[in-house]
Amino acid sequence: MKKILVIEDEDNIRSFVVINLKRAGYTVVEAASGEEAFEVLAKNPDVILMVVDLMLPGIDGYEICRRVRASGSNMGIVMLTARSQEMDKVTGLMTGADDYITKPFSPAELTARIDALMRRLGGAGSASDEIVCGPFSLSLKSRTVMKNGVRIELTQVEYLIMKLFLENPNRALSREEILKAVWGQEYFGDLKIVDVNIRRLRLKIETTPASPQFIETVWGYGYKWDA
């Protein structure tokens, strides 16, 4: 079983995270403080990922990361931050977090980010192997995408772009990043190929491709999936 530890002192946020991760097929243990987290970890050595709130009374999220990494653990760590703490991302990365989720976040964003990290860790994502985001659902098994239950015919490249977006909702992705993730490190073609494929993908998935609702352009940078 894929076991996740959720550390958050605010009861309502903690139960929101726990419920949604359970719904996505994970086994979840929880703690309301850093001190409690280490007790739970001692009893559950099979935890492979933890979701840590940055602001905790006592031992904070950074310190938890630091201690977990110092113990030699390579478990996945996702940090929860408030919007006002976005500048702290760099500090978080330095203390060993793998990813961030900014509050407030949707269940779709939460599970997409956790699934993505699980896959990077070598797990297979949630039990359903499906990423659901708004009207879209992407099946990792059949490599297909549905919108409102209707299959959208996509090329493999378009599928990979969709997968990248749904695994990184609300995050601005540079064109270089998209090129590398979809065409591979070895690809030396022009960045325009990204724009060409995005344009085609918009025609297939957007209701009004001229004013896209899902794939936003981030001028001078790249694109962002609006979840």
Spatial distance between the Cα atoms of 53 and 18, rounded to a whole number of angstroms? 13
Nearer to Ca ion (CB atom), residue 83 or residue 192: 83
Binding region for Ca ion (CB under 5 A) out of 53-61, 102-110, 155-163, 174-182: 53-61
Q: How far is the CB of 201 from Ca ion (least distance, A)?
A: 38
Q: Which of 7-15, 62-70, 81-89, 117-125 is the region at the interface with Ca ion (rule: CB under 5 A)?
A: 7-15
Whole-number Å distance between alpha carbons of 214 and 222: 14
Q: Which is nearer to Ca ion, 53 or 167 (CB)?
A: 53
Selection from 84, 101, 10 nearest residue 50 by Cα: 101
Nearer to Ca ion, 55 or 132 (CB): 55
Where does this chain touch Ca ion (CB under 5 A) — which range of 4-12, 64-72, 113-121, 174-182?
4-12
Which residue carries 């990290």 as its tokens? 117
* Residue 121 touching Ca ion (CB under 5 A): no
Near Ca ion by CB under 5 A: residue from 30, 53, 99, 158: 53
Q: Does 9 bind Ca ion (CB under 5 A)?
A: yes
d(CA 204, CA 215): 11
Q: List the Cα angle 5/76/126 in 5-degree steps.
A: 75
- What mask, x for binding Ca ion by CB under 5 A, covers residues 74 to 113? ----------------------------------------
Query: 3-class DSSP state for residue 95?
Result: coil
Tell me what percent of the chain is helix, strand and coil, each rounded to the nearest 5. Answer: 40, 25, 35
Measured at the CA of 147, the angle between CA 20 and CA 222, to 5 degrees, comes to 85
CB within 8 Å of 221: residues ≥ 6 apart: 172, 174, 175
Task: Please report how close the Cβ of residue 53 comes to Ca ion at its closest, in angstroms.
Answer: 4
Asked if 55 touches Ca ion (CB under 5 A), the answer is: yes
Using CB under 5 A, list all residues that contact Ca ion. Answer: 9, 53, 55
